Amino acid sequence: MKVYLDNNATTMVDPEVKKEMDPYFTEIYGNPNSLHDFGTACHPALRKAMDRMYEAIGARDEDDIVVTSCATESNNWVLKGIYYDLIQNGDKDHIVTTEVEHPSVIATCRWLEEQGVRVTYLPVNSDGIVQAHTVRDFITDKTALVSIMWANNETGAIFPIEEIAEICKEKSVLFHTDGVQAVGKIPVDVTHAGVDFMSFSAHKFHGPKGVGGLYIKDGHPLTSLLHGGEHMGGRRSGTLNVPGIVGMGKAMELATYYLKFEEQNVRRLRDKLEDAILEIPDIYSVGPREQRTPNTVLVSVRGVEGEAMLWDLNRAGIAASTGSACASEDLEANPIMSAIGADSELAHTAVRLSLSRFTTEEEIDYTIEQFKKAVERLRSISSSYAYMPENMKTTEGAHNG
């Protein structure tokens, strides 16, 4: 049996999405900027796709949604754009973010620090959540931007975005949220939430890879990363990825349609999996379920390296992750586990399981069986677990249930 439980890394393209994209490869393949019929034939589908995106995230006509190549680009753009506009060419010098952002935010902030920007990386509590009041404490009159994710990719923790947006508004500071793990998993309404910028990526909600976007409230000016032709209203040059945009529009529409399914059915399967795993002694899951996206669970298996678990699961046909695939090449401690205060031994034992609307009950039953087998086998050969004193087998900073 093959079971894909790494949906926070990427998802399967929904066959309905693929069907909508298909004609734009070999039939309607003109450049939408061309004046001939081959070019203009793309326009209705592009318009429809954009309308679907505006509708799905609650954007208004006066806002912009600029299509990019991925959320990494969107995150880089907003951070570097604000740096250029308000720090290098303005009187600000500071950005506030968190310790648990995706590497596309953290690495960009590290680069900005090399350019002389002050960056505050806010800590998270033991549930992996940033508390809104800590944001208030760190904003100064020199702060150009607050960038805080809507939901965390590793733990699924949902952050208090509306409260943070309120604080930023009160302090007149721009607020960007990385919405990659929120779109399609929980309701996302940018207008209601009050954010100024939001990044998203189609391949995280059953759309194609290589296409993402940046929502920009009221078309706020932001220096471009890519200069060239007048694509995307001159905000992001490069010939439009027509099949990608069509696919992202359809995928967003479906993501909204399936939100209730996600909330009920996907959550039920996730909870079933989590309950069964937590029956094994010395296993912990991070963060309370009601404050997590319905598809995600991050567990720590005391005494077993996360990579060893992945290996055993993979041999059984099950795809999981030790955390961000972007960082999975090295065997360092999971940075999110370290950020929530887990000890170093535990931080090496994280396994992320992320479901999707295509995950079935049979797949979950099979995973439960194989997960238990893997823990049993690996603990039986783990000298660190066998000789671990009993008092080490309890954990601060992580939950059992």
104, 143, 296, 300: residue in contact with ligand 7TS (rule CB under 6 A): 104
Task: Tell me the three state secondary structure of residue 144.
Answer: strand
Query: Which tokens belong to 377?
Result: 């086998």
Determine if 295 is a binding residue for ligand 7TS (CB under 6 A).
no
Indicate the SS3 state at residue 67: strand
* Torsion angles phi and psi, residue 20, rounded to 5: -70, -30
Phi, then psi, of 350 in degrees rounded to 5: -80, 135
Helical (H) or strand (E) element with 137: helix 132-138
Give me the catalytic one of 42, 70, 168, 326: 326
Q: Which stretch binds ligand 7TS (CB under 6 A): 28-36, 318-326, 339-347, 367-375?
A: 318-326
7, 11, 72, 76: which one contacts ligand 7TS (CB under 6 A)?
Answer: 72
Q: Residue 106: how many CB atoms within 10 A of its CB? A: 18
Residue 226, CB half-sphere, CA atoms under 13 Å: how many? 19
The DSSP bridge partners found for residue 214 are 66, 199
Residue 181 lies near ligand 7TS (rule: CB under 6 A)? yes
- Does the annotation count 326 as an active-site position? yes
Q: Which is nearer to ligand 7TS, 88 or 328 (CB)?
A: 328
- Total number of residues that touch ligand 7TS (CB under 6 A): 17
**Segment near ligand 7TS (CB under 6 A); pick from 47-55, 126-134, 139-147, 324-332:** 324-332
Q: Does residue 334 interact with ligand 7TS by CB under 6 A?
A: no
Interface with ligand 7TS in residues 206-225 (CB under 6 A):
212
**Interacting span for ligand 7TS (CB under 6 A) from 137-145, 230-238, 294-302, 320-328:** 320-328
Q: Decide if residue 336 touches ligand 7TS (CB under 6 A).
A: no
Query: Site residues for ligand 7TS, window 115-134 (CB under 6 A)?
Result: none
Give the CA dihedral 41, 42, 44, 49, nearest 10 degrees. Answer: 170
d(CA 5, CA 299): 13
201 touching ligand 7TS, by CB under 6 A: yes
- Which SS3 state, helix, strand or coil, does residue 231 take? helix
Residue 1 is a binding residue for ligand 7TS (CB under 6 A): no
The helix or strand, by DSSP H or E, that contains position 161, with its residue range, turns out to be: helix 161-170
Q: Which of the ranges 69-77, 81-89, 219-227, 288-296 carries the binding residues for ligand 7TS, by CB under 6 A?
A: 69-77
Residue 70 in contact with ligand 7TS, rule: CB under 6 A: yes
CB closer to ligand 7TS, 72 vs 98: 72
CA separation for the pair 367, 374 (Å, rounded)? 10
The reply on whether position 188 binds ligand 7TS by CB under 6 A is no
Nearer to ligand 7TS, 139 or 180 (CB): 180
Percent of residues in the chain assigned helix, strand, coil, to nearest 5 = 45, 15, 40
- Beta bridge mates, 95: 119, 145
Name the burial class of residue 50, with classes exposed (0-12), middle (13-18) and buried (19+) by CB atoms within 10 angstroms of its CB: middle
For the chain, how many helices (H) and strands (E)? 17, 12
CB closer to ligand 7TS, 102 vs 357: 102
155 touches ligand 7TS by CB under 6 A: no
Nearer CB in complex with ligand 7TS: 208/303: 208
The residue within the footprint of ligand 7TS, chosen from 322, 324, 367, 382 (CB under 6 A), is: 324
Among 5, 78, 86, 149, binds ligand 7TS (CB under 6 A): 149
**Pick 71 or 161: Cβ nearer ligand 7TS:** 71
From the list 67-75, 113-121, 258-266, 274-282, the region that binds ligand 7TS by CB under 6 A is 67-75
DSSP codes, 264-321? IIIHHHHHHHHHHHHTSTTEEE-S-GGGB-TTEEEEEETTS-HHHHHHHHHHTTEE-B
325 binds ligand 7TS (CB under 6 A): yes
d(CA 108, CA 110): 5
Residue 326 touching ligand 7TS (CB under 6 A) = yes
What residues act catalytically?
Answer: 326
Given the rule CB under 6 A, which residues bind ligand 7TS? 8-9, 70-72, 102, 104, 149, 153, 178, 180-181, 201, 212, 324-326
